[in-house]
Structure 1
Amino acid sequence: MSDQSLPTTAILPRQELRELVRSQLQGLLEQDNFKGAKALLVPVQPADIAEAIEGLPEAMQAIAFRLLSKDEAIAVYENLDSSVQQTLIEDFKRQDVQDIVDKMSPDDRVRLFEELPAKIVRQLLTQLSPQEREATALLLGYEAGTAGRIMTPEYIALKEGWTIVRALEHIRHRADVSETVYYLFVTDVARRLTGILSLRHLVMGQPEQTIGEIMTREVVSVQTDTDQEEVAQLIQRYDFLAVPVVDTEQRLVGIITVDDVIDVLEEEATEDIYTLGGVQSGGDNYFQTNLLTVARKRVMWLSVLLVTNTATTWVIRSQEAILEQVVVLAAFIPLLIGTGGNVGAQSSTVVIRGLNTNELETKGAFNVICREAIAGAFLGIMLGVVVTGWAYLLQGDLGVAITVGISLVAIAILASTAGAALPFLFSAIGFDPALMSAPFITTVVDVLGVLIYLNLARHTLNIGP
């Protein structure tokens, strides 16, 4: 195969484009056609190149990466999965590593260092230039999950007394080393944040106007210890491209850009989804984690649920007399508790998501719980009618069918109420509401649902003690 390009880039769906790049790149490398492989990657975006490299056999990843120019290699490296970054570090010579890591933006470098063993991090830190080492040490000094850890110190700061002409000249000199030029921050001699303006407002002003005349003094900023999820919500709410980060003395120390926020939102969403399933993620990539480690992280919650589910067994054993007299009742227990668990999981998911996005507040918990209880009643009635008819067709016993239908209505109301109330309770006492997720709610509904069902059967079917 000769030199190749991708003339269909503009019309191919992104997923198909990435797969095409990966397959063609692998084919060229297998033929040792390095010139063709290099030409293939020229029109491709760094993020797509990174995904193509990740899809290659491990032995080819370093070869493909070395085909990139230095500037392109830095952009691609920042988009690679942390495990591939580590593999490349082990394959590269010391100078290769130094060049790439030194040119990375500080926030991306810190994200890489968080994934690497401490010994490698110490080695890489010694290879950085003094300026980059200081910037990296600054970010690593802040607690993980805070604004200080995910910010970048590469921003453009202006002074109030500067004219627009001088400001533009300063921007031209600093643009290459700044994370963004679209937001410009104004500081005083003590580096305290006093204002902000956009590049648009700057270029629309008159050349001799001063920055102080056109800047906005009401600045929305965050502290270095602000939780990263709160920062993400702030940028999302106000549609910012970046938000300034200040220390306790209101000195500007960095900025957080929207691309970093997207990473945070993905990370937080992943954490919530894992928690909803009773799985400890620990920040690790599941598909690159040892299976024994995966099992160890899951066994704690499953052990807790195993113990709590013994309560269901105790309830059933305490009602053995009822089941002995009407054995058919036992056949509907899985149906009732399974449906109740699903209804509770739906309610809890809605409430947990509302709490995480700040659409719901604990002070409005009563109204939300009442709303979910009513929704549970509607669901119970609709499902109860269906299951009553189904139970009658299966068993031919109207009393049993009615008992099952009424029980389902009660269990649906219970499940919806519990699913809505428990996340609010956890949030109020300072725990992650996602912990009160499907596994726990299912356990609560199982125990109380069986108790409701068998006691209702005792009364409706006139079963003696």
Structure 2
Amino acid sequence: MKENNLETVTSLSSDLSTRENITIQLEELLIAGNYDEAKLLLEPSQPVDIADAIGSLPLILQALAFRLLKKNEAIEVYEYLDPVVQQTLLERLRSGEVLEIVEKMSPDDRVQLFDELPAKVVRKFLSALSPGERKVTAELLGYEPETAGRLMTTEFIDLKEMQTAAEALSLVRKRAPFTETIYSLYVTDKERHLTGILSLRDLVTADPSRPIGDVMTRDVVNISTNTNQEEVARAIQRYDFLALPVVDKEKRLVGIVTVDDLIDVIEQEATRDIYAAGAVQPGDEDDYFQSSLFTIARRRILWLLILVLANGLTTKVIAMNDQILKEIVLLAAFIPLLIGTGGNVGAQSSTVVIRGLSTQKLKSLGAIRAVVKEAITGALLGVFMMLVVFPFAWWQGEGPLIASAVGISLISITTLAATTGAILPLLFDKMKLDPALMSSPFITTVTDIAGVFIYLSTAKWLLNSSLT
């Protein structure tokens, strides 16, 4: 078993090295004008690897390399290209070449490309498409963004219950070259209502003279055209499907969503959550490495300004308690420790809850129980950290006053931070907003303000009590 794993790792490393070499060799051959050798270099490569190689080339060479591909291969490679590279090629290729590529793309990939293009350009392409492709594309563009309808492809095979296995298999052979996947075959009635599903294995092994209605599965998991793409991804993951059928309001089969499209969705949603967690505004293409410095700064400045204004409240709280700080200057030395701890605890709680909402595993625990669990966890963390910090604060403050203020505040702040870190994402989710927005920077800001107020108020109360 270990030997097999080692062989797999070695093979993967070899593939990565080969892809890097292809890119280097391709660039050298194109610069030298040796186009015949460049063609031979690309011929044995997979379309996705060719797309990577072309995308890594300088802009001036990308269109040149793309023109070396055979027509059918070029269309498949184009679908794997990064959206930015796709747009660059559209600008550099001749009008006829572009229209041919767009015409022969699969409907879902074509719609994904159109989503990245200006509306004026999309209208131009739509008018140039054949009537059939124009109708399909317009239908998909009519669905809301980030829904199953916008994500699905209309290239699927549907069969009828009364067809024999032999008739169905003959139909599959004819339509397979024009269909995205044939592993799942869908059965519909005369009105195109989805009535069953049949795997290719079941069809091949069935009695040729037997109607497929006898061997199909009638209990079909399906999604509607307005189902959010995240829910579609969760359904694919839950049932381990390669594709999911999509039905309209009348339960008619209108398309399928395949797992390869959902991998892109999962990556897109993960990118958004990561950006939100860092208080960064995502761009339309999420393409940091090709964005200008001004664009990068613009995406970050909005949230930073909001956080700066919010942190101004922390300064206000400190200014309101300047008297206690003047009397006991050493109190100021523990402010970073307390608000830093509160921010860290709050960030941990928000991360756990946001992830639980994303995977829907939090449903089994329940929102209220999750908040209570995090609050108790925060209190326990505060107690543990107090046992470490209290002796040090006593020694630094030369007495119990500062140590008591730090200890009481530490427990209060960690409890509050954990509770806040759990509540805010749940509140945003209830308001139909992205829970990831209530991530580390915002939780830290909230706990900073509350933590300073708790700490200085506690110190003032203890000081007044000792004087009386």
When normalised by structure 1's length, the TM-score is 0.92
Matches within 5 A, 1:259-274: 259-274=260-275
Q: Distance in 2 between matches of 1:107 and 1:205?
A: 32
Q: Distance in 1 between matches of 2:389 and 2:86?
A: 55
Question: Does the alignment pair 1:446 with 2:448?
Answer: yes
Matches within 5 A, 1:215-364: 215-287=216-288, 288-361=290-363, 364=366
Q: SS at 2:161's partner residue?
A: coil
Q: Find the counterpart in structure 2 of residue 72 from structure 1.
A: 73
Q: SS at 2:362's partner residue?
A: coil
Deviation (angstroms), 1:290: 3.9
In the alignment, residue 81 of structure 2 is paired with which amino acid? L
Q: Find the counterpart in structure 1 of residue 156 from structure 2.
A: 155
Q: Find the counterpart in structure 2 of residue 39 from structure 1.
A: 40
Deviation (angstroms), 1:320: 0.8
Question: Percent identity of the aligned residues?
Answer: 56
Q: State the Cα deviation string for residues 85-104 of structure 1 (Å, max 9, x = none).
A: 01101111112112211111
1:56/1:401 CA distance change after superposition, 3 Å: farther
Q: Distance in 1 between matches of 2:423 and 2:444?
A: 14
Deviation (angstroms), 1:14: 4.5
Q: Distance in 1 between matches of 2:19 and 2:395?
A: 54
Deviation (angstroms), 1:282: 4.3
The range that moved more, 167-176 or 270-279, is: 270-279
Q: Find the counterpart in structure 1 of residue 3 from structure 2.
A: none
The range that moved more, 181-190 or 270-279, is: 270-279
Deviation (angstroms), 1:308: 2.2
In the alignment, residue 65 of structure 2 is paired with which amino acid? A
Q: State the Cα deviation string for residues 200-228 of structure 1 (Å, max 9, x = none).
A: 11111111111100011111111111111
Q: State the Cα deviation string for residues 90-141 of structure 1 (Å, max 9, x = none).
A: 1111121122111111100110011112222222223322222221111111
Q: Find the counterpart in structure 2 of residue 3 from structure 1.
A: none
1:30/1:451 CA distance change after superposition, 3 Å: same
In the alignment, residue 186 of structure 2 is paired with which amino acid? F
Q: Distance in 2 between matches of 1:232 and 1:325?
A: 59
The range that moved more, 98-107 or 405-414, is: 405-414
In the alignment, residue 386 of structure 2 is paired with which amino acid? G
The range that moved more, 217-226 or 31-40, is: 31-40
1:364/1:124 CA distance change after superposition, 3 Å: same
Q: Distance in 1 between matches of 2:219 and 2:301?
A: 50
1:453/1:66 CA distance change after superposition, 3 Å: same
Deviation (angstroms), 1:355: 0.7
1:58/1:377 CA distance change after superposition, 3 Å: same
Structure 1 unaligned segments of length 5 or more: list them.
1-7
Q: SS at 2:13's partner residue?
A: coil
Q: Find the counterpart in structure 1 of residue 94 from structure 2.
A: 93
1:225/1:11 CA distance change after superposition, 3 Å: closer
The range that moved more, 8-17 or 243-252, is: 8-17
The range that moved more, 288-297 or 117-126, is: 288-297
Q: Find the counterpart in structure 1 of residue 30 from structure 2.
A: 29
In the alignment, residue 376 of structure 2 is paired with which amino acid? I
Q: Distance in 2 between matches of 1:211 and 1:177?
A: 22
Deviation (angstroms), 1:429: 3.0
The range that moved more, 162-171 or 375-384, is: 375-384
Q: Find the counterpart in structure 1 of residue 406 from structure 2.
A: 404
Q: Is the 8 A contact 1:9 1:17 kept in 2?
A: no
When normalised by structure 2's length, the TM-score is 0.92
Deviation (angstroms), 1:233: 0.9
In the alignment, residue 433 of structure 1 is paired with which amino acid? P
1:352/1:167 CA distance change after superposition, 3 Å: same
In the alignment, residue 42 of structure 1 is paired with which amino acid? E
1:19/1:394 CA distance change after superposition, 3 Å: farther
Structure 2 unaligned segments of length 5 or more: list them.
1-8
Q: Find the counterpart in structure 2 of residue 199 from structure 1.
A: 200
1:89/1:393 CA distance change after superposition, 3 Å: farther
In the alignment, residue 382 of structure 1 is paired with which amino acid? F
Q: Find the counterpart in structure 2 of residue 458 from structure 1.
A: 460
The size of the alignment, in residue pairs, is 458
Q: Find the counterpart in structure 2 of residue 4 from structure 1.
A: none
- RMSD over aligned CA atoms reads 2.3
Q: Distance in 2 between matches of 1:386 and 1:84?
A: 55
The range that moved more, 308-317 or 76-85, is: 308-317
Q: SS at 2:366's partner residue?
A: helix
Matches within 5 A, 1:163-174: 163-174=164-175
Deviation (angstroms), 1:399: 4.3
In the alignment, residue 434 of structure 2 is paired with which amino acid? D
Q: State the Cα deviation string for residues 254-286 of structure 1 (Å, max 9, x = none).
A: 110011111111111112222222222143324
The range that moved more, 384-393 or 126-135, is: 384-393
Q: SS at 2:234's partner residue?
A: helix
Q: Distance in 2 between matches of 1:181 and 1:297?
A: 43
Q: Distance in 1 between matches of 2:74 and 2:430?
A: 48
Q: State the Cα deviation string for residues 117-172 of structure 1 (Å, max 9, x = none).
A: 22222222233222222211111111111111110000001000000000010000
Q: Distance in 2 between matches of 1:421 and 1:297?
A: 27
The range that moved more, 16-25 or 205-214, is: 16-25
In the alignment, residue 114 of structure 2 is paired with which amino acid? F
Deviation (angstroms), 1:41: 1.9
Q: Distance in 1 between matches of 2:174 and 2:453?
A: 74
Q: Is the 8 A contact 1:362 1:424 kept in 2?
A: no
Q: Distance in 2 between matches of 1:338 and 1:18?
A: 45
Q: Distance in 1 between matches of 2:272 and 2:201?
A: 38
Q: Is the 8 A contact 1:286 1:294 kept in 2?
A: no
1:362/1:426 CA distance change after superposition, 3 Å: farther
Q: SS at 2:255's partner residue?
A: strand
Question: Does the alignment pair 1:175 with 2:196?
Answer: no
Q: Distance in 2 between matches of 1:464 and 1:73?
A: 84
Q: Is the 8 A contact 1:362 1:428 kept in 2?
A: no
Q: Distance in 2 between matches of 1:319 and 1:453?
A: 10
- 382, 385, 398: which one pairs with 1:380? 382
Q: SS at 1:309's partner residue?
A: helix
Matches within 5 A, 1:136-151: 136-151=137-152
Q: State the Cα deviation string for residues 422-443 of structure 1 (Å, max 9, x = none).
A: 1112222333222222222112
Q: Find the counterpart in structure 1 of residue 51 from structure 2.
A: 50
Q: SS at 2:208's partner residue?
A: coil
